[in-house]
Amino acid sequence: MRAAELIPHVESITTLRKYGKVKRVIGLMIESQGPESSIGEVCFIHVHSSSKGHNIKIKAEVVGFREEKVVLMPFTHVHDISPGSIVEATGRPLEIKVGEALIGKVVDPLGNPIDESPLPIGMRVVTTEKEPPNPLMRPPIDEVMEVGVRPIDSMLTVGKGQRIGIFAGSGVGKSTLLGMVARNTKADLNVIALVGERGREVREFIERDLGPEGAKRSVIVAATSDQPALMRIKGAFTATAIAEYFRDKGLNVMLMMDSVTRVAMAQREIGLAIGEPPATKGYTPSVFGILPKLLERTGTNENGSITAFYTVLVDGDDMNEPIADTVRGILDGHIVLDRAIANRGQYPAINVLKSVSRLMNHLIDKKHLSAADKIRQLMSTYDQAEDLISIGAYKKGSSQEIDEAIRFNPQIKSLLKQAFDEKIDLATSVHQLVKLAEKGEW
């Protein structure tokens, strides 16, 4: 860096440090008298650790103000903090170190490797919260992103820079589908955020769902369910910041977040703790403010793209609950996993009729589009007549459309089925779809 470029950085450095004192701790919140600080700023709370036997600094973030007191939320559990503990302002938001050395590593929401290995020197420091790209600076999405999962590539084609939601109840195969995409995609790099997962599931996802092939070209950010709400939120923002770094280097990045619902729940915890009134189904207004700020950061910019898959855990399989409805309105499409389809052993359990890719029509050729439309019509016809067919009330020959739907149904189910360890490229998926639509076989 040249001397002239260093001048602004040197001028911004201040030797003045601002301090305050802890006044009280209420649940998740810490109230302090001072220091002078702003929302989102990171502070250090100086305490004496009884377990370690020496003084330590607990990192916390300013989340609000109450009666001229600063309201802080710690990044770790509240231990050893007492009235009078010194609070030191840093004047900076949360920053992490990013670089190519992160590829293949599992890090926490603060950017530290979970295996406690040191980060190499030469990493770039970035803030976790940024503004989304200027809408007029976003190139249009006009190129297909191959994900290697036949039901998606053939019937719900995704573009480079598109943002898709995966909506499902618990135990229907969201993590398994993400693992398939991470292993099979043609993206340059995967960034995977595991937010609010059980501690057991993190290693299982890496070793079983992701596998060595997917792990060696992925950066994984893990924030388990036992961690404070602030850490779970920062897990989502840190993963997005890492994806943005590699996008700005010209890469096509695949960002996968499991799950957005847990990010919303963590924000609800913080909102209620600082006194926000509950709104829709107990979610505070800040929840519906933070979601577009997070989701709009992905997509294309003038350098590269972030194709994003966000899982949404729908309560009681209700696709119209507040978080699902809000996320569906922001994203560029949604994939619905159906428990009834999973119960009959069809995986991935994608309900094609309830799913949509909003950019598919602009990305594929007419032959592919025509074939997808025909298969969707046949599935819809069969779905409407399924009750009559299953109880034997339908007589063959009563309807030509239903007869054709019955004839195609086994082949369609087979087309939409894919083994967990099976990799099918885009060209093969499209060829099989077109062949099925034209000849009734593939």
Q: Which of 113-117, 176-180, 200-204, 213-217 has the highest mean pLDDT?
A: 176-180
Mean pLDDT confidence for 130-154:
95
According to the model, what pLDDT value does residue 315 have?
74
Comparing C-alpha atoms, which of 126, 121, 87, 122 is closest to residue 110? 126
According to the model, what pLDDT value does residue 62 have?
95
pLDDT at 147 over 70: yes
pLDDT at 3 over 70: no
User: What Cα–Cα distance (Å) separates residue 91 from each residue in 21, 35, 83, 137?
Assistant: 17, 10, 23, 31
Calpha distance 365→363 (Å, rounded): 7
Eight-class DSSP state of 367: H
According to the model, what pLDDT value does residue 314 have?
87
Q: Which amino acid is it at 131?
A: E
Quickly state the pLDDT bin for 155 (edges 50, 70, 90).
very high
Residue 220: strand pairing partners:
106, 192
Residue 27, C-beta contacts closer than 8 angstroms, at least 6 positions apart: 273
Estimate to the nearest angstrom the gap between the alpha carbon of 92 and the chain centroid: 25
Comparing C-alpha atoms, which of 287, 331, 290 is closest to residue 307? 331
3-state secondary structure of 337: strand
pLDDT at 279 over 90: no
Calpha distance 234→350 (Å, rounded): 30
Mean pLDDT confidence for 138-149:
96
Calpha distance 291→296 (Å, rounded): 8
Which of the two residues, 29 and 242, has the higher pLDDT score?
242
> Each residue of 99-111: pLDDT tens digit?
999 999 999 999 9
3-state secondary structure of 101: helix
> Each residue of 347-376: pLDDT tens digit?
999 999 999 999 999 999 999 999 999 999
According to the model, what pLDDT value does residue 7 have?
67
Contact 113, 127 (CB under 8 A): no
> Each residue of 194-231: pLDDT tens digit?
999 888 888 888 888 888 888 899 999 999 999 999 99
Comparing C-alpha atoms, which of 431, 416, 411 is closest to residue 353? 416
- Strand 305-313 and strand 189-197: pairing? unpaired
For tokens 């577009």, the residue is 292
pLDDT at 116 over 80: yes
- Strand 19-26 and strand 86-89: pairing? antiparallel
pLDDT at 16 over 80: no
For tokens 């696709």, the residue is 319
Eight-class DSSP state of 395: P
The percent of residues above 90 in pLDDT, for the chain, comes to: 73
According to the model, what pLDDT value does residue 6 have?
65
For tokens 């032959």, the residue is 367
Q: State both tokens at 13.
A: 């450095």
Eight-class DSSP state of 159: B
- What is the phi/psi pair of residue 357, to 5°? -110, 115
Q: How many helices (H) and strands (E) does the chain have?
A: 14, 17
pLDDT at 78 over 80: no
Calpha distance 208→179 (Å, rounded): 8
What element of type H or E holds 47? strand 42-49
User: 210-243 burial, b for 16+ CB within 10 Å, e for fewer?
Assistant: beeebbebbbbbbbbeebbbbbbbbbbbbbbbbb
Q: State both tokens at 80.
A: 């050893």
Quickly state the pLDDT bin for 285 (edges 50, 70, 90).
very high
User: What Cα–Cα distance (Å) separates residue 365 from each residue in 40, 120, 340, 368, 370?
Assistant: 47, 46, 32, 6, 9
Quickly state the pLDDT bin for 260 (edges 50, 70, 90).
very high
According to the model, what pLDDT value does residue 12 have?
61
For tokens 């979610």, the residue is 283
According to the model, what pLDDT value does residue 274 have?
86
Q: State both tokens at 33.
A: 């008298």
Between CA 253 and CA 260, with CA 259 as vertex, the angle to 5 degrees is: 90
Between CA 113 and CA 120, with CA 117 as vertex, the angle to 5 degrees is: 90
Q: State both tokens at 135.
A: 């809408």
Calpha distance 45→25 (Å, rounded): 12
Calpha distance 290→336 (Å, rounded): 23
According to the model, what pLDDT value does residue 9 have?
61
pLDDT at 1 over 60: no
Rg over alpha carbons for the chain, rounded to the nearest Å, is 25
Lowest-pLDDT choice from 8-22, 128-142, 324-338: 8-22
> Each residue of 393-439: pLDDT tens digit?
999 999 999 999 999 999 999 999 999 989 999 999 999 999 999 98
According to the model, what pLDDT value does residue 128 have?
95
> Each residue of 45-74: pLDDT tens digit?
999 877 777 888 999 999 999 888 999 999
Quickly state the pLDDT bin for 117 (edges 50, 70, 90).
confident
